[in-house]
A and B are shown apart, each in its own frame.
Chain A
Amino acid sequence: MSGTRDRIETWFEKTANLIYDNRYKTLILIFIFILTLTAQIRKITIDVSTEGFLHKDDPKLSQYEAFRDQFGREEMIIIALKPPDVFNLEFLTELKKLHEEIENKVPFLEDVKSLINARSTRGEKDDLIVGDFLENWPETPEEVNELRNRALANPMYKNMLVSEDGMFTTIIIQSQTYTADLNKEDALDGFDDSFETDTEEAKPESNGPASKNYLSDKENGEIVKAVEEIIKSQNIPNTEIYVGGTPVVTHFLKRTMMKDMRKFMAIAIGTISLFLFIMFRRISCIFMPLGVVISSLLSTVGLMALTGTAIKLPTQILPSFILAVGIGDSVHILVIFFQHFNKYGKKKEAISHALGHSGLAVLMTSLTTAGGLLSFSTAAVAPIADLGQFAAAGVLLAFLYTVVLLPALLAIFPLKPKKSGDTEETKPIIDRLLKSIGKISINYPYRVLAISSVIIIFSICGMARIYFSHNPLKWFPATSSARIANEKIDAEMKGSTSLEVIIDTSKENGLYEPALLNKLEETTKHFEKYKSDKVFIGKAWTITTILKEINQALHSNDKDYYKIPGDKQLTAQEFLLFENSGSDDLEDVTDSQFTKTRFTIKVPFIDAIAYTGFIKYAEKYFTSNYSEEKITITGMVSLFVQVINSAIISMAKSYGYAMIIISILMILLVGRVRIGLLSMIPNIAPILVMLGIMGWANIPMDLFCMLVGSIAIGLAVDDTIHFMHNFRRYFEESNDAEDAVLRTLHTAGRAMLVTTCVLSIGFFTFMFADMKNLFNFGMLTGITISMALLSDYFIAPSLMIIVNRGKK
């Protein structure tokens, strides 16, 4: 094993010499490589949608897309308005103005619904009146009053357009499902000329499920922005206005993410520069390592763009992660380089010495970090898999640039050796500290382990208290307008998102069957009554809502006829009439052949975990009551639950993989199975403590906190590698465990302190985020990395003392 190690070290030295001799060629080559990747960045896309959390081939996502293809985009922007009085002529005029402004100015609209144009189907004697609710504009207070009574009596409007108490009214905006508007010239080319010869053939060739070009995040943002601007410019007196719904949440997530990302990068670069300056006191030593890590970052983002991977919520941590992790590589090389260079003043030798000394360690730490990250690469949550792959790529690129770009830069930059390092004054304090730490492990190894065990057991107890959570709304500060608006809408309009169920009879006109329609009616009533401690249902509706409405209207508005007609023929004819009445609303609840219907259950936007029980309940209810029909459960809520469920499974897997990958690497590095496995104890301990802190501090385990474990183990292990690497070397020399521990702490211990500072500061910068999830993520990772250092200062030496004592 040590033979292999020697060979690798020699190889690094030779490579360094080669680079030094060809420094300009190397620089040019590597710059071309970096620029090629960087040039791709302009193609990068951003996607913060809930769909984006799932892999393209996730069956739940396919179901959702099929649903969307059939019934349109189900996510709505909801504008809730609370005027002094909804049914007041002045306010209704303002509402109309606002409605029209939205229709005229908001892009990518499918439909805008409010009291102004709400479907109103009524019967008066022998007349059937089909039209908009406010088609005939009221002029007298009596007329307004009559409208109030009609609106509050309409079951379809309740909790949709008017709140139960009549205090709130809404404007509901549905966007287009797909992107793409054609210009006029392209539009004129849309005729199907191939029909020329076979007019009898009834099958259009370009038919089929429409393109998968769903409305993009950017277009969604344009819609939300347009709505916000209209709201701002329309000053409705004494009226509270709330703009909510999942499209708004998505837009806010994106806006906050962009802001946060810029902030993190600035802070990360700032702290790294400051740290580098303090450490080396040379301006060139700020720019060279920064050049390396920024190149790694740009190349990684370029790789993402090249492979068409969008930046999503979890991947936003990538930039600051690569900056913080990558800088460690440069630091290790530079420390050794300057030690040698300041002493002998020979640049080429110093470079080759530094690479020979630290190259292998840097390679190993890069591999373990990448290994920890790669454990995410199979995650069912798409952006976490992306994060795993690209962060790993970034770490390996950082390694490559450190051993190629950094030596070339060192070779070219004019450097002068400095005698007596500036850090000398601080040395004694740290030395004394490290020495006393070493003494503790040497003198009381069992006590150290006992105390550690107590802490670990305490942490394990805390782990039982961990609860899972996924609620993007709660990531926003409580004062954020998107959060306030959604909470208000959830409270007043009884929900802002929905669970969608498709009931498919697989028979043409299957929905005409009175038995099925009556069952749907019962189900509606059943769900409108459902309530658990977290989920309440604002409203449930399906095709029967339209049918009842038209049946009543056809029977002179007699309330007794607000029900399903008992006769199949009548049902068919009433639907035909409805199709003919100027409303396209049937398209929203059924397909053209009446084989399947959509059943919508409106629910509040709450934690995905809270929906789990409700969805299970709905699944059971529908499958047992509709045994002959095919049931599909989908909708935003279902996706939401899928995201968190996949995440939990992925997390368990990735923790397992990370553990295995890193154990193998440790065994390879140490060269012995037993010691390798033993060295995993100081690696795992900080993770357990982190989980314990989460449990005791009531920090929810969300998508971001789940990442902490695998990321931290990949980083924590670096300290252990340095410790074991050095300990072994010194122990082989002196065969004295105590001496080896002290010497290891004296050399590697210092480097570990330095890298831990950089890394933990890098992660603590996330605590400046506006989003709470990132705050928690940064704090926990920072703490875990600090714990890892402590664990290598105490647990690792104690273990080595105990294991090797007998051999002395």
Chain B
Amino acid sequence: MKKIIISFILIFSAAIILMPKYLFADDQKARKIMQKVEDRDDGDNMTGQTEMILIDKNKKERRRKIKRFTKDKGEDTYSIMFFQHPADVKDTGFLTYDYDDPDRDDDQWLFLPALRKTKRIASSDKSGSFMGSDLNYSDMTSRNLDDYDFKLMKMSEVRKKKVWVIESIPRSKDVIEETGYKKSVLFIRQDNYVLVRAVNWTKNGGYLKYLDVKKLELIDNIWIGTELHVTKKKGKKTVHKTILKINNVKFNQDLNYELFTIRRLEKGL
């Protein structure tokens, strides 16, 4: 799940494309911070139980439970997820190969138990919602620092910890298209280089997406956010909200590449 946080750090960004470039000239200090964030150990061979609470504008909740396994392969990341709850979608599975190479589209397969079939999903758009949550696919996959301009806006505090506030703006329209964000402001903790907050400006609809790492834990010496709140707002009003809780996080588990195959996807947990 750490993956998610890392990826947030890297993607929460976007640009008002019409603005002259020089206004957003890159800031070396900010870039160094971001590099350190990216270089931070995010662990490997992780297992975890994700609970997703989706809250709509009428305060109606939906809960989903997902078992998730992640393993690095070189610079690429493999992950497999199985739905455990609700009952209707139990055993529905997603297998994802997230390639480090920016030119290569990620591979994703899904298995629908009611159809007893696996389908490969071919899509390069990452701005769509992840499992109906307020996270999108681009939030879940790693991004290239070279795609963005960074600027250190100011120092601040989040939950009594000092943070850098860094503005991140995509360098190209394609990145905006792909991530769905035209600008982001990131809050990076100064003591451990963990992203604890972010604000994203969405390309469509003029929404603001607030990511807040409510609970940050040190597990096996790796920092991981175990409770995230993502709030999608229009102006000051909440339109939708997702609460992600990650339980039973374990790193360095004995995960085999065999786990990350279509065969396992179809077999289920």
Contact = CB atoms under 8 A, between A and B. Distances in A.
Given A199-B227, A579-B132, A109 B205 contact: yes
B115 to A, nearest CB: 6
Contacts of B54: 592
Contacts of A574: 112
Given A192-B231, A209-B57, A581 B121 contact: yes
A541 to B, nearest CB: 21
A208 B125 contact: no
B92 A576 contact: yes
Contact of A191 (B130, B201, B210): B210
B131 A570 contact: no
A176 B118 CA distance: 38
A188 B199 contact: yes
Interface string A342-379: 00000000000000000000000000000000000000
Interface string A155-180: 00000000000000000000011111
Interface in B126-170: 126-132, 137, 159, 165
B55 A182 contact: no
B125 A554 contact: no
Nearest to A592: B56
Given A108-B206, A111-B204, A593-B62, A187 B88 contact: no
A130 B121 CA distance: 7
Contact of A126 (B119, B130, B201, B205): B119
A581 B17 contact: no
Interface string A244-285: 000000000000000000000000000000000000000000
Contact of B239 (A127, A131, A181, A210): A210
B61 A580 contact: no
Interface string B58-99: 111110000000000000000000010010110010100000
Contact of B115 (A211, A554, A583): A554
B205 A182 contact: no
B39 to A, nearest CB: 26
Contacts of B130: 580
Contacts of B56: 591-593
Interface in A311-350: none
A128 B113 contact: no
Contact of A567 (B59, B61, B114, B210): B114
Contacts, number: 192
A191 B86 CA distance: 30
Nearest to B18: A104
A582 interface: yes
A696 B214 CA distance: 74
A767 to B, nearest CB: 44
B235 A182 contact: yes
A21 to B, nearest CB: 58
A180 B233 CA distance: 11
Pick the most buried of A111, A202, A582: most chain B CB atoms within 10 A of its CB: A582
A127 B125 CA distance: 16
B104 interface: no
Contacts of A213: 235
A196 interface: yes
A199 B214 contact: yes
B9 to A, nearest CB: 17
A132 B125 CA distance: 9
Nearest to A206: B238
B123 to A, nearest CB: 5
Pick the most buried of A188, A209, A583: most chain B CB atoms within 10 A of its CB: A188
B38 interface: no
- Chain B's interface size range is 35 or more
A581 B210 CA distance: 22
A73 B217 CA distance: 42
Contacts of B185: 184, 187-188
Pick the most buried of B53, B83, B199, B227: most chain A CB atoms within 10 A of its CB: B199
Interface residues of A, number: 66
Given A131-B123, A190-B199, A570-B115, A180 B132 contact: no
A469 interface: no
Interface in B178-215: 185, 197, 199, 201, 204-206, 208, 210, 212, 214-215
A190 B197 CA distance: 11
Contact of A128 (B119, B129, B235, B239): B119
B137 A582 contact: yes
Pick the most buried of A109, A111, A581: most chain B CB atoms within 10 A of its CB: A581
B236 A129 contact: no
B59 A207 contact: yes
Contacts of B35: none
A639 B240 CA distance: 28
B175 interface: no
Contacts of B17: 104
Contacts of A186: 236
A625 interface: no
A109 B114 contact: no
Nearest to A595: B60
B11 interface: no
Contact of B89 (A191, A204, A209, A572): A572
B234 interface: yes
Given A110-B205, A182-B208, A581-B123, A573 B234 contact: no
A582 B122 contact: no
A176 B240 CA distance: 16
Interface string B227-264: 10101011111111101000000000000000000000
Contacts of B117: 126, 554
Contact of B112 (A70, A130, A199, A554): A554
B120 interface: yes
Nearest to A182: B235
Nearest to B122: A129
Nearest to B119: A128
A176 B206 contact: yes
Contacts of A196: 159
Contacts of A179: 235
A199 to B, nearest CB: 5
A553 B124 CA distance: 17
B233 A190 contact: yes
A509 B88 contact: yes
B14 interface: no
Given A128-B121, A190-B233, A192-B229, A592 B239 contact: no
A36 interface: no
B114 A111 contact: no
A580 B201 CA distance: 21
A108 B53 CA distance: 30
B268 to A, nearest CB: 13
B237 A580 contact: no
Given A188-B199, A211-B237, A570-B114, A195 B229 contact: yes
A180 B236 CA distance: 8
B30 interface: no
Contacts of B265: none
A569 interface: yes
B158 to A, nearest CB: 8
A593 to B, nearest CB: 5
B37 interface: no
Contacts of A108: 206
B103 to A, nearest CB: 16
A104 B208 CA distance: 18
Given A184-B185, A190-B233, A580-B129, A69 B112 contact: no
B58 A591 contact: yes
A568 B90 CA distance: 13
8 contacts: A127-B122, A131-B124, A177-B234, A188-B185, A190-B231, A190-B233, A581-B121, A592-B62
Interface of A: 69-70, 104, 108-111, 123, 126-132, 135, 176-182, 184, 186-188, 190-192, 195-196, 199, 202-204, 206-211, 213, 508-509, 512, 554, 565, 567-570, 572-574, 576-577, 579-584, 591-593
Given A128-B121, A199-B215, A204-B231, 7 more contacts: A177-B234, A178-B237, A190-B208, A190-B231, A573-B92, A579-B131, A591-B56
